[in-house]
Each structure stands twice: as C-alpha cells, then as structure tokens.
Amino acid sequence: MELIFLGTSAGVPTRSRNVTAILLDLKHPTRGGLWLFDCGEGTQHQLLHTAYHPGKLDKIFITHLHGDHLFGLPGLLCSRSMAGNANPLTIYGPAGIREFVETTLRLSGSWTDYPLEVVEISEGLVFDDDDYKVSAQPLSHPVECYGYRIDAHDKPGALDAAALMADGVKPGPLFQRLKHGETVTLEDGRVINGQDYLAAPQPGKKLAIFGDTAPCPAALQLAQGVDVMVHEATLETAMEEKANGRGHSSTRQAAQLARDAGVGRLIVTHVSSRYDARGCEKLLAECRALFPECELAEDFAQVSV
C-alpha cells in the first residue's frame, strides 16, 4: 500500500500546505483500489497535481465533521460526476455525514450520476471483505471523531509443489485446491491435507490513520502493532496544554503513543500554521527524541506501507 498526503496543515491552508486529505493506494494486484481519508477544502485541486483521478476513488473515510477535514467533499463529488464517471463510491463518516452530503447537493442543485452510498459509522468494524478490514475507534475531540485502522488480511503461504510431486502428486487442478488448504482424495485413495504443504502465512500490512485527538484510551488499541501510524502533531511539546484543551496532541504525545503501541513507523501531520520550515524541523526533532522512526509529512509526500 502507499499513502499520498494531499494536505498536512491544521485548521487553515498555508502557502505550502493544504488542509487535511490523505490518499491510500491499495496497489492490490487484481482489485486495485483508491481510498481517501478526509477531504479538506481544495482536495480536488491537490489531486490535479498527482497521477490520481477522482474517478478511481471507491471509498472515502471522514474522521470528523470539522471543515478542514470536510469542506472539499461536495466539490469533489460533483466534479467526479461531471467527468462522466459511473463507478460507485461509498462515504463513511460520523453521524451527520449523510445530512451534510444530501443537504449540500440539494441546496446547490447538484447530483451524482454514479451510485453513491453514505454510511454513518460507530465504534467497531466499518468494512470487511476478502482482502481488507477497516475498523474505527472514537477519539478525544470537541466533535465526534474517529481514527481508522486498516488491516490487510494475511495471505496464504506458498504451496510446496516440489514436496507434492515428491509424494507422487501430479501437477494439475488439485494443486489449486491444495493451495487453498483443502483436503483432497487422490486417485490412489490417499487423503492429503493442503495445509501440510503450505508455508507459513504472509502477515498482512497494518495501518492506523488518526483523526484529530488529544490522548485517549482508544488510541493504543487503534495503533497497536501497526506498520505505519499517521497521527497529528498540531503543536510542540511546550504548548501541550493548549493542544489538549482543543482536542489535539503535541509532538511528545504522538511519539509516546507510537512507542507504547509498538508501531513500525510514525508519520506526523496536521501541523499548525504557526510553524514555518524551521519550526517544522523542531517538531520533527521533538518526535524523534522519543521515537526515532518518525517522519513529518509534507504535501504530496508518498509513504510506502
């Protein structure tokens, strides 16, 4: 999977940072898949500077209904329709997201020419199929806000074809059944279990994308053991009390969570507009003092998961 940051600023855009939006390219070999997490104002403009097209989006996950995470959604939905795209799209978000979408489309005389589903979420499982599971945990913010955890399902281990042939099993349709771990009966009457010829499963990648939040109990569960955690670091450690009072986290708190949750890498984002390039260097240094495997996202940065 690959993350593409379309906006990394908190609250308002700056000259170098737009407000929050993150693309997730699943890069699945057969199904593809392009997901968007949050959609701040100007997200469709940011997309124009990438190789990605809104028509390829099939899911949008909204963390909360504050404008810097949401106000780009109506324009994106309409532009996607005006381009003649017919691919279905599903939006997930807190209570109120359906009313927001329906009201903005109705009052502006707009519509979508593609199937559009809006799902209002709560804590727990949001989506699950043969390839991915998405769950949500409530965070600590002035409005209802969630973080999303994406777990790719484990892949079956490789089939040991050489061992099968050594045991007198000829290559053919049975191999496919054995690769799925089935038990089959051979022509000579032997019964063999495919599980006995499979290597260990390949663990699926795990990713956590947080909405805005002060430290909270659910954070550890959301981030536990993920390969990559995306978390806000709105303010520096010296301004921690102010950050928490507004439902945000400091650099120290983001890094401490990454350390306690045993994540592989931390990507911090949602940076206050008060910080210039030198200020951002300070934020990153504060994070790395506690959790060295940390990067501070810039607009259009790409991160492999």
**CA dist., res. 74 & res. 61, Å (int):** 14
**CA dist., res. 262 & res. 49, Å (int):** 34
Residue partners of 73: CB distance under 8 A and separation at least 6: 39, 43, 60, 62, 91, 100, 101, 104
Q: Which residue has the tokens 């949401």?
A: 70
64 is in an annotated binding site: yes
276 is in an annotated binding site: no
- CB-side neighbour CA atoms (13 Å) of 186: 16
28 is in an annotated binding site: no
CB atoms within 10 A of CB 205: 17
Q: Which residues pair with 133 in a beta bridge?
A: 128, 151
The amino acid that residue 236 corresponds to is E
Check if 151 is active-site: no
Marked catalytic residue, from 25, 38, 58, 68: 68
141 is in an annotated binding site: yes
69 is in an annotated binding site: yes
**CA dist., res. 50 & res. 57, Å (int):** 14
231 is in an annotated binding site: no
Query: Measured at the alpha carbon of residue 128, what is the angle toward residues 268 and 114, in degrees to the nearest 5?
Result: 90
Known binding residues for Zn(2+):
64, 66, 68-69, 141, 212, 270
Known binding residues:
64, 66, 68-69, 141, 212, 270
Active site residues: 68
